[in-house]
Amino acid sequence: MTPISDHPVLLVTGGGRGIGAATARLAAQRGYAVAVNYAHNASAAEQLVADIRADGGQAIALQADIADEAQVLRLFAAVDIQLGPLQALVNNAGVVAPPARVEAMDLARLQRMFNINVIGCFLCAREAVRRMGTRQGERNFGAGYGRGGAIVNVSSAASRLGSPDQYVDYAAAKGAIDSMTLGLAKEVALDGIRVNAVRPGLIETDIHASGGLPDRVRDLSSSVPLQRGGSALEVAHAILWLLSAEASYTTAALLDVSGGR
């Protein structure tokens, strides 16, 4: 199949809902051809792609569980074939679990938390670097690759707050993403790749309901200096800035989008 895009290519993991969906939509409006990755909710991802196309943008939906290496390889190969050389990655896919103290967390919960939120992020970053790196991309994948690019990891304000009595495992996973962002940014700077992270605070998305606390943003908004939760679009604007040429001298940054919390 001949790639359909002559626009910069962006992959958004976990792109069917919340921050990922807002990022995909905004990126398409700004001229990216967007690959919207999803794990389970095909209908949401396909509707988002339909909406982007109806607005004149380019997008495709691609299923993959990023905690599975074989599926990650399949995902990136599909982007290669259907859109062309990758220039940007937003590592957004992530999960939470119901509130629990550490002494109540079982192995299955911890493995799921770190497999998706940390290992999956590493696997996707690895495949992006292999394609974008100016010292290896063209050698590995052919003409059009190896032109540099940008990666934005979606961390969380939880990485510095710790989330006691609720999500210490989630906070620890996002702490790993912060460290990975700093180290990888320094590792691939000479490959023409910038790596940054956004750390959203209390954002109005359905991830809270998936963790058993659908009213969490409302309940905690008084603890935010700005006295409200944020929107997925507000985070998406920060992500698109970090991807853009306007942030050309920004790498290894951890950008809080948290209302001051």
- What pLDDT is stored for residue 2 in this prediction? 44
The answer to whether residue 226 is domain-embedded is yes
Give the β-pairing of 254-257 and 58-63: unpaired
- What pLDDT is stored for residue 217 in this prediction? 73
Q: Which CATH number is 118's domain given? A: 3.40.50.720
The answer to whether residue 119 is domain-embedded is yes
H or E element at residue 90: strand 86-91
The answer to whether residue 4 is domain-embedded is no
- What pLDDT is stored for residue 207 in this prediction? 62
Give the HSE-up count for residue 75: Cα atoms under 13 Å, Cβ half-sphere. 31
| Structural domains in the chain (count) | 1
Q: Which residue range is the domain that position 90 belongs to?
A: 9-257
Distance CA 257, CA 202 (A): 9
Catalytic annotation, residues: 170
The answer to whether residue 3 is domain-embedded is no
Sign of the alpha-carbon torsion through 106, 109, 112, 117: negative
Task: Name the nearest CA neighbour of 11 among 65, 85, 94, 115.
Answer: 85
Query: ∠ CA(50), CA(203), CA(201), 5° rounding?
Result: 135
- What pLDDT is stored for residue 1 in this prediction? 39
Distance CA 111, CA 96 (A): 12
Give the HSE-up count for residue 39: Cα atoms under 13 Å, Cβ half-sphere. 13
Q: Which residues of the chain have pLDDT under 50?
A: 1-2, 4, 208
The answer to whether residue 123 is domain-embedded is yes
User: Do 81 and 141 meet the contact criterion of CB atoms below 8 Å apart?
Assistant: no
In terms of C-beta density within 10 A (0-12 exposed, 13-18 middle, 19 or more buried), how is residue 178 classed?
middle
CA dihedral 74, 238, 42, 37 (to 10 degrees): 0
Whole-structure pTM value:
0.94
CA dihedral 112, 91, 137, 148 (to 10 degrees): -160
- What pLDDT is stored for residue 3 in this prediction? 55
The answer to whether residue 231 is domain-embedded is yes
- What pLDDT is stored for residue 190 in this prediction? 98
